[in-house]
Amino acid sequence: MSIENVAPPDLIRVDNLSKHFPITRGTLFRRETGAVKAVDRVSFSVSPGKTLGLVGESGCGKSTVGRLLVRLINASDGTIWMDGTDITNISGSDLFRRRRDLQFVFQDPMSSLNPRARVDSIIAEPLIVRGSEAAACRHRVAELLELVGLSPSHARRFPHEFSGGQRQRVGIARALATNPRFIVCDEAVSALDVSVQAQIINLLKRLQSEMGLSYLFVAHDLSVVKHISDEVAVMYLGRIVEIGDKHKVYARPAHPYTQALLSAVPRHGSVARRGAGRQVLTGELPNPINPPGGCPFHTRCPQAMPRCAIERPELVHVANGQQAACHLLE
Ligand SMILES: Nc1ncnc2c1ncn2[C@@H]1O[C@H](COP(=O)(O)OP(=O)(O)OP(=O)(O)O)[C@@H](O)[C@H]1O
Ligand code: SF4
Ligand SMILES: [Mg+2]
């Protein structure tokens, strides 16, 4: 086989990744009474320099996926590969070394940044824990502030002296300090005004093309991830129900849940899709502690059939190239 025919290896790949949080009862003698399947057998990959958008309603497991990937929490089951190496259970110095490459940008910069620390020490902290000297840190902080579109003269300010968008730039600068290769952006623009969202997304895209970064970009709705993602994954109650190339998923969503989410997305800056083909998402999201049997979406699905309450659909390849988990597609 010639070298040119070999596809570049995935930067990140997860296979059947699961995270179950135990539910406990009792105050004195705590006992386990069950588990929330926050993430349930999720598989996907992210190529170098690419973005996977991860969307779904509140509580579907998006942040848990992100926290698993950067190893802030341990998986209950499944495997996380980075550059072809299994990093699922690494710890100690192996994990410390890997963390340089795996960073996280949070939704609320004010709560994720120490309000009493000045911006230079917030950004330099990941370098200080790695033993960088003061002069090198100062130089790197100035470089990072410029990289994210802030003035190095603002290094001695406190987070509250910046606007929301500027604080998010500080969060991004901190995430970039160790020169990572993969960043989880967890609702990184969700709290910002639409115009500021666009500026931060443009910044993330520029940094990606300049530095070859890969992102997992988490958001509630499909409109936010549209402009930054190469691939999109849609989660429902801990599982991926559809995943595929962004253009294909947006043009021809295969899963009824994706269709409903897209129906709610304003098109061309106007109102959401109307009339024929529009699907309105009704009903409450089921309690993840006690999810419905069969297809977990059957309690809200406008196309549900009797078998949907009994049989759980698995992800299958659909004609359009993406994968979706729905009996209508089998
Ligand atoms: N540490 C924890 N202990 C117990 N349950 C947890 C824990 N963290 C998350 N969960 C539960 O796991 C499920 C998934 O949570 P997660 O925060 O990943 O969802 P999410 O999609 O990020 O939601 P949101 O959009 O609101 O941020 C939820 O039911 C949540 O209550
Ligand atoms: S399997 Fe049934 S309930 Fe689930 S999405 Fe498909 S049609 Fe709807
Ligand atoms: Mg979340």
Cα–ligand 3 centroid distance for 79 (angstroms): 21
Helix axes 134-147, 119-128, angle to 10 degrees: 120
Q: What is the pLDDT of residues 127-157, one digit of tens each?
A: 999 999 999 999 999 999 999 999 999 999 9
Question: Does residue 60 have its Cβ closer than 6 Å to ligand 1?
Answer: yes
% of the chain exceeding 70 in pLDDT: 93
pLDDT band with cut points at 50, 70 and 90 for residue 115: confident
pLDDT band with cut points at 50, 70 and 90 for residue 199: very high
Closest Cα to residue 78, out of 95, 64, 99? 64
pLDDT band with cut points at 50, 70 and 90 for residue 113: confident
Question: Does residue 66 have its Cβ closer than 6 Å to ligand 1?
Answer: no
Question: Does residue 20 have its Cβ closer than 6 Å to ligand 1?
Answer: no
Say how far apart CA 140 and CA 176 lie, in whole Å.
10
pLDDT band with cut points at 50, 70 and 90 for residue 41: very high
Q: Which domains does the chain have, with CATH numbers?
A: 15-25+33-101+180-252 (3.40.50.300)
DSSP 255-293: SHHHHHHHHTSBSTTSPBP-STT-----SPPPPTTS--S
Question: What is the CB neighbour count within 10 angstroms for residue 88?
Answer: 18
Mutate to test the pocket of ligand 1, among 18, 19, 36, 73 (most ligand atoms within 8 A of CB): 36
Say how far apart CA 113 and CA 164 lie, in whole Å.
12
Task: Of 63-77, 260-274, 277-291, give the range with the top mean pLDDT.
Answer: 63-77
Give residue 279's pLDDT: 67
Question: Does residue 113 have its Cβ closer than 6 Å to ligand 2?
Answer: no
Question: Does residue 36 have its Cβ closer than 6 Å to ligand 1?
Answer: yes
Q: Which atom of ligand 2 is nearest to the CA of 295?
A: 4
Give residue 319's identity as a one-letter amino acid code: A
Cα–ligand 3 centroid distance for 189 (angstroms): 12
pLDDT band with cut points at 50, 70 and 90 for residue 186: very high
- What is the three-class DSSP state of 118? coil
The backbone torsions φ and ψ at residue 205, rounded to the nearest 5 degrees and listed phi first, read: -70, -40
